[in-house]
Amino acid sequence: MVHRPADSRLLSNLLQQEKEYSKQLSQLLECSNASLASFTAYAAASPPPGSHVIMSVAGSLAGIDEALKRYSQGVDEWRETMRSLKDAEEAVGGIMRDREILCVVFSLFFLFSLSYIFRSELPG
């Protein structure tokens, strides 16, 4: 397989999709917290035999919310890493482009110098 330089549009698209995903996770967590608060209030208002079971379920849901919150933070860290990668990729791309330009300029300068040297050495 032939190696081609990375297309920054692909990474930009990935970053955009991850941003949207992160925003959706945040909205899910907000709704989940509100729902859990309502569920906990319902458990507190329920009679004792049922309230213990409902509180136990609420505790499990709170644990799930906490795990989802940590996952969301991991996604945010991933996005930041990808953003840094994109910045580095753009910097390297600029350096490679400048290198190609300099190679062409130096090649032309070298050819011009050779032609000047050969012209000056010709008899006449």
The pLDDT value given to residue 2: 52
Which of the residues in the chain have pLDDT under 50?
none
The pLDDT value given to residue 34: 94
The C-alpha torsion from 50 through 52 and 53 to 55, rounded to 10°, is 120
Q: How far apart are CA 112 and CA 122, in angstroms?
A: 16
Q: How far apart are CA 12 and CA 9, in angstroms?
A: 5
Task: Please tell me the pTM assigned to this model.
Answer: 0.70
Phi, psi of 47 (to 5 degrees): -65, 155
